[in-house]
């Protein structure tokens, strides 16, 4: 009785679970298509286990454990297949539309969106052109966000409260500028949404092939999805014992401005591999960096963000590392660090001066000068220009190559066309 009184007197924290769908009744890859029957089964399963349903803008203030059903992109099959099923079940949903696609072949029309809105759906923005926002300088980023907000206002007469970032990727610049136009922003990283979740980086776990089983209820209560396995990869290469080398000078130990919610990079070259796992939670960021092979090095660093500066402290094989990074007017960031025991220091910048152009440079007293650039070829615009050219200069060697995005995964291959070939895998959310 005491226990129930105590529990009764403290309102339980409400957590919402947000599901992200794309197409319905059309098969288009493991996470992008679901049959109308499966959608119905999943919603009924959640309903039967006591969940209630809300729209995206209420994701942080549901009064009990609730579920938000969302659809991305604006495909017409959502209107044809999902809308009638959810109407029959009395469940509202949220549609994140690419506003420039509305009314074009295969996509929903403004009249259909109006009808869905009148039936309780929330119509939100998925940007104007499905651009990869993390590759845009502030003025182009602002245009993507404003243009889609304006289109929804013109055609539906209402404000879109939320935006879903294309490919689920965002960084601090994207979140800052989104907050000027919207109340909420959705990524695609796992987790539930509560009072303390960053409203500009709300979580939406991936749909998985196991969602037609009891796994869905586990996911609705924990927010955990299969992407957790990628975050655990560095653990597989963790080693005790004494690593033998100093840190890589070009590594920013205190990233924040260009950071989403999580990033994992695996760099492979002959006889050497490097893992970097970066994680952000509100104003904190943390990074684990491991080198294995001919050189071996471990480092852990954390940073606290005070706009526009982040202050950081880390610990690596050479002892304590101190440093800071700064947001450069939302064009990118600059950083510097110093390791007192080894007297190793370095500084660098990473900038996005023009749409789809990223340039990096760094100097360290151990490795000297390094620089790199990446340019996204103007191909397949709606896929966020996935094909890129890369040019890097490091350790007095030029490396050229290419990279390609597959959703939020990226593969890069580069070489000096003599002795070095490098392969890099990145996952970011
Ligand atoms: Zn999309």
Rounded distance between C-alpha atoms, residue 20 and residue 419, angstroms: 45
Contact 387/404 with Cβ under 8 angstroms?
yes
pLDDT at 5 over 50: no
Contact 170/185 with Cβ under 8 angstroms?
yes
Q: What average pLDDT is seen over the chain?
A: 91
Q: Which residues surround ligand 1, an ion (CB under 5 A)?
A: 72-73, 166
Distance 164 CA to ligand 1 centre (A): 8
Distance 163 CA to ligand 1 centre (A): 11
Distance 72 CA to ligand 1 centre (A): 5
Are 240 and 149 part of one and the same domain?
no
The mean per-residue pLDDT over the stretch 398-416 comes to: 95
Distance 97 CA to ligand 1 centre (A): 8
| Number of domains forming the structure of the chain | 2
The residue out of 199, 226, 253 marking a domain boundary is 226
Find tokens 């066309």 and name the residue: 417
Are 190 and 291 part of one and the same domain?
no
Which strand (E) or helix (H) includes residue 361? strand 357-364
Residue-wise pLDDT for 155-214, tens only, equals 999 999 999 999 999 999 999 999 999 999 999 999 999 989 999 999 998 877 678 778
115 in a structural domain: yes
Residue-wise pLDDT for 29-55, tens only, equals 544 678 888 889 999 999 998 899 999
Distance 358 CA to ligand 1 centre (A): 22
> For residue 27, what pLDDT band results from cuts at 50, 70 and 90?
low
Distance 363 CA to ligand 1 centre (A): 38
CATH of the domain at 276: 2.40.160
Say what the pLDDT of residue 28 is. Answer: 57
The 10 Å CB-count burial string (b at 16+, else e) for 197-220 is bbbbbbbbbbbbeebbeeebbebb
More confident residue, 109 or 20: 109
Residue-wise pLDDT for 228-256, tens only, equals 888 888 888 877 777 778 888 889 999 99
Alpha helices in 28-82 (DSSP H): 36-48, 76-77
Q: Dig out the tokens for 425 from the structure.
A: 């895998």
Distance 415 CA to ligand 1 centre (A): 32
Are 282 and 413 part of one and the same domain?
yes
The residue out of 180, 196, 226 marking a domain boundary is 226
The residue out of 226, 241, 258 marking a domain boundary is 226
CB atoms within 10 A of CB 104: 12
Are 257 and 130 part of one and the same domain?
no
Residue-wise pLDDT for 123-168, tens only, equals 999 999 999 999 999 999 999 999 999 999 999 999 999 999 999 9
Distance 326 CA to ligand 1 centre (A): 30
CB atoms within 10 A of CB 4: 8
Distance 74 CA to ligand 1 centre (A): 9
């Amino acid at each position: 009785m005491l226990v129930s009184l105590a529990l009764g007197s403290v309102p339980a924290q409400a957590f919402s679970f947000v599901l992200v769908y794309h197409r319905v009744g059309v098969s288009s890859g493991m996470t992008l298509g679901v049959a109308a029957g499966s959608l119905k089964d999943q919603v009924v399963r959640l309903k039967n286990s006591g969940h209630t349903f809300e729209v995206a803008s209420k994701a942080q203030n549901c009064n009990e454990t609730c579920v938000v059903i969302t659809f991305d992109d604006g495909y017409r099959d959502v209107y044809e297949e999902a809308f009638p099923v959810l109407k029959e079940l009395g469940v509202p949903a949220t549609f994140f539309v690419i506003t420039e696609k509305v009314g074009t072949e295969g996509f929903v029309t403004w009249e259909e969106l109006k009808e869905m809105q009148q039936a309780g759906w929330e119509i939100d923005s998925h940007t104007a052109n499905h651009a990869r926002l993390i590759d845009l300088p502030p003025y182009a980023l602002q245009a993507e966000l404003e243009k889609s907000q304006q289109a929804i206002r013109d055609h539906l007469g209402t404000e879109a409260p939320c935006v879903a970032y294309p490919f689920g990727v965002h960084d601090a610049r994207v979140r800052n500028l989104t907050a000027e136009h919207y109340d909420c922003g959705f990524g695609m990283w796992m987790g539930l949404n509560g009072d303390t979740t960053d409203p500009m980086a709300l979580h939406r776990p991936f749909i998985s092939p196991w969602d037609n089983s009891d796994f869905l209820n586990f996911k609705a209560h924990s927010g955990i999805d299969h992407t957790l396995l990628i975050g655990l990869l560095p653990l597989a290469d963790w080693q005790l014992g004494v690593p033998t080398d100093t840190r890589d000078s070009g590594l920013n130990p205190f990233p924040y401005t260009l950071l989403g919610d999580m990033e994992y990079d695996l760099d492979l070259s002959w006889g050497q591999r490097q893992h970097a796992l970066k994680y952000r939670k509100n104003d904190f960021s943390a990074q684990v960096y491991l080198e294995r092979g001919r050189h071996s090095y471990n480092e852990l660093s954390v940073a606290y963000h005070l706009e526009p500066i982040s202050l950081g402290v880390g610990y690596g094989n050479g002892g304590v590392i101190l440093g800071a990074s700064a947001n450069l007017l939302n064009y990118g960031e600059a950083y510097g660090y110093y390791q007192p025991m080894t007297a190793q220091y370095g500084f660098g910048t990473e900038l996005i001066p023009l749409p789809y152009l990223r340039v990096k440079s760094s100097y360290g007293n151990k490795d000297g000068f390094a620089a790199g650039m990446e340019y996204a070829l103007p191909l397949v615009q709606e896929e966020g220009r996935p094909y890129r050219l890369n040019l890097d200069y490091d350790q007095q060697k030029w490396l050229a190559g290419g990279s390609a995005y597959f959703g939020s995964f990226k593969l890069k291959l580069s070489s000096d066309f003599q002795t070095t070939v490098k392969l890099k895998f990145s996952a970011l959310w």
